[in-house]
Every structure is written in structure tokens, then in C-alpha cells.
Structure 1
Amino acid sequence: MRNSLRLASLSLAASVVFAWPSLAAETAQDFVTKAAIGGMFEVQSSKVAQDKLQDQGLKDFAQKMISDHGAANAKLESIAGEQKLKVPADLDAAHKSDVDKLQAGAAPVDASYADMQKAAHADAVSLFEAYAKDGDNAALKSFAADTLPTLKMHQDMIQKVATTAPASDGSTPAVTSGATNPAAPVPGANSFTEAQAKSAIEKAGYADVSALTKDDNGIWRGTASKDGKSTPIALDYQGNVVAGTK
């Protein structure tokens, strides 16, 4: 009897453990709702911002968002219809607020648009990765897995474009390694993470980047080496990399 009870307890525990991943995963309707809203936001925000962008790289990115997400949205709507799932007709309040900000903002809106796109693609990649792995609908899992590489490519694009885009007020643009920008480093709200700041500095030709901290002006400061020599280094919110500043 004791052995029977013990086996029954182990069986129940195992069933709970193995059932947990499916409980944690997005349901098909949750995925459709979030994916559709995210896709609509990409298209609407890019259409609104396109004529207010100054940097050509961001303009090209916005056009790609309209094209790529427009196609993905149509495919998602088709699959959702086949699966008898509801596709939202409009944005939720948070995404609509962001689109309204771009609509009301004075040109150029480069920094605002880039920040929104970085956040939106971080959310999208996370959503699609999770559903492609643990989703509860085969057709939607396939869609998530097929779309994920494009979303990751978009995420990489906006990180690179945002690093070299001009300031939102149209002031001095970001510089590449070896160029000169007398105004840099430019104070301003900096959305780069420490890892992104380090990567941007390394791409400018520096190695051994260390001790990075963001100061009160939004400028990442630390040390790095180039040609065997160590130097103070700074990265501002525009992506300008400036050596020899403290």
C-alpha cells in the first residue's frame, strides 16, 4: 500500500512538472492579438514617421517596416481566419499613444522613432521566440518560427542605424571612426545599454573597452585602447565615439 501511494504521488508530481511548459506558453489567441498589434504598430508608426525622419538610413528602415510587416500582417490574418481566431482591428492604447506622439511631434523625429523601434522589436523577438518554442497551435508556431529570422534582422538593423543616426533636433550627426565632430560628445538622453555602448566603441576601432559608466549628461565614459595605447573614451546618445575626453 505504501509503495502504491508513493508511486501515485510521484506520478502526480511528474504530471504537474511536465504540464507546466504548456501552461506557461502563450495561447493561440494571445499570440495572435499581440503579434497583430505589434505588426500594425510597425506599419502605422513607420508611415507616420517616414516624412519626418532626417536620417536616410532610418527612412530606408521605415520603408522596410511598412513592406515586411505589411506582408507578415496579411499572412497572420489569413492563418488566424483559418484557425477561427480574432484579429484586433486597431492598436491598443499604449501603442496608439506612441503613434500619436510621432504624429504630433515636430520633424525630425529620428530619436523617438528609433527608440520605439528598438523597444518594439525586443518585444516582438521575445514573443515570437516563445511561441515558436512552446505555442499551442501548429500553424501559428510555424508562422512564428518562419517570421522570427526577419524580426531578428530588423532588430539588428535598427541597432546599427540608430548608432549612426543624427540627433532628433537635427544638430551635429554621429561620426564614424576617424571623423571629426567638434560638438561631440553631445549631451542628451542615452538609450544605449552598457553592452551596446561597448559594441559601438569596438566597432569604431577600439579594443579593451572597460570601466564604462554613464554620466549625468547621458554620455558613456570609460577607457579603451587603440594602436597599443590606452585612452579615455566617450560615447554619446548619437553614437559619436570620442577618444581623449574625461
Structure 2
Amino acid sequence: MKKNNVTTCLLFLFVLACTSNQNKSSVAIADSANEAKTDTTKYRDTTTTAGITMGVNDETARFLVDVADVNMTEVKLGQMAKDKASSQRVKNFGDMMVRDHTSADNELRTLAANKNVTLPTSVGTDHQNKINALSKKSGRRFDKACMDIMEDGHEETVRDFNRNKDNKNADVAAFVNKMLPTLQMHLDSAKAIKKALR
């Protein structure tokens, strides 16, 4: 009888753990996984030891997680713009978002794998809420709201990338500096389209 109680208790704890993870966003799960890794690697931050690539510090891991979340968000928003926008310029911008952020995400995922950083597999809760709210709009209201989100998002992303231009990890710094001109161009385009929609 005791064995059944122990088995039941273990099964309950397993179900509870699974349910807990389902309630967490993919971003929070990735952050937790990376924190556990950095705890065990003592914040190693560079490439050494016979060419074996080591992980990055917690701050850089968090930055890479945020970039992955942004890339997935921009791809979703871009696809929505292509499908729902009434303005051809917004549709074209959406196409550019899908193309550029898919490419950036592929490069990021290779970099993160080399640095032993876990990335989210789906859009985080905050960004998903913005996507859901935008999906309820249509016509000109959709176009304006979409470009508001695009401008705000790119301003924040450009700021984050500028903060990481001189990242201690040379591979991360190289990725950041490669992506910055494209992100700045996206921001400039978003501002111009938003102004034209007034």
C-alpha cells in the first residue's frame, strides 16, 4: 500500500511540474535553463581550451534569448502585415520582416548552439499579447497599429544591440555589429511608413 502512495505522489509531482512548465512562456523556460547552465559553468565567457566553445555570461544569454523572442515576433507580425494590411507599403514592410528576421534567427540559433545557450521556441507572452491585440484590427487601423508596434519594437531592439556592440564575447559582438545596420534600416523604414500613414 505504501508503494502505491509513493507512486501516486511521484506521479502527482510530475504532472504538477509539467503543468507548471506549460504555464510558463517559452522565454521564461529558456531563461531558467540558461541560469542553471551559468550556475554550473561559473559564468565562463570566452572561447578557450583547445578550441572548444564555452558558454556566455548570464547577461549575454539573456540578450540572446530576447533577440530570439524579437525575431520570432517580427516574423509573426510581418506575416500578419503581408496578409492583413491595406497599405502596400505595410505589406512590403511585412515581407521584409519575414525575410530578414528569419535569416537573423537562423544565424542566432547557430550562434546560441555554439555558445550552449538555450533559446525560446515560441514567442514570449508579452509579445504574443501584442500580436493577439493587433490581429483584432483591420484596414487603416491595423496598418497604423502595426507600424506603431514595429517602430517601438525596433527602437528598443536597436538600443539593445547598441549596448552589446562591444560584448566581451567576440562572436556575439560580431553578430550584433553585422545585424545593427539592417535593424537601423528597419527602424528608419518603419518611421517613414508610419509618417506616410497619418
CA RMSD, 1 decimal = 1.7
Q: Cα–Cα, structure 1 residues 142 and 58, in superposed 2: closer, same or farther, change >3 Å?
A: same
> Which protein has the larger Cα radius of gyration, Structure 1 or Structure 2?
1
Which amino acid in the other structure matches residue 79 of structure 2?
A: K
Residue 126 (structure 1) aligned with residue 159 (structure 2): yes
Q: Which amino acid aligns with 2:191?
A: Q
The percentage of aligned residue pairs carrying the same residue is 25
Q: Which has the higher contact order (CA 8 A, sep 6+)?
A: 2
Pick aligned residue for 2:150 from 105, 117, 128? 117
Measured after TM superposition, the shift of residue 26 of structure 1 is 7.5
Gaps of 5+ in 2: 1-56
Matches within 5 A, 1:29-40: 29-40=61-72
1:148 aligns with 2:173: no
Following superposition, which runs of at least 4 residues in structure 1 exceed 3 angstroms of deviation? none
1:63-99 per-residue CA deviation (whole Å, 9 max, x = no partner) reads 0010001100000001100111111111221100011
Residue among 109, 112, 122 paired with 1:77: 109
Alpha-carbon separation, structure 2, partners of 1:121 and 1:48: 17
Higher helix proportion (structure 1 or 2): 2
The answer to which structure has the higher strand fraction is: 1
Matches of 1:145 and 1:27, distance apart in 2: 18
- Structure 2 length-normalised TM: 0.68
Counterpart code for 1:138: A
Q: Gaps spanning 5+ residues in structure 1: where?
A: 1-24, 166-237, 239-246
| Secondary structure in 2 matching 1:84 | coil
Q: Deviations over 1:117-159 (max 9, x none)?
A: 00000011001111112x2321111100110000001111111
Q: Does the CA contact (< 8 Å) of 1:49 and 1:102 recur in 2? A: no
In 2, Cα distance between equivalents of 1:29 and 1:139: 13
Hey, what's the Cα distance between the residues in 2 that align with 1:137 and 1:97?
33
TM-score if structure 1 supplies the norm length? 0.55
- The equivalent of 2:130 in structure 1 is 98
1:55 matches 2:72: no
The answer to whether the 8 A contact 1:26-1:136 is kept is no
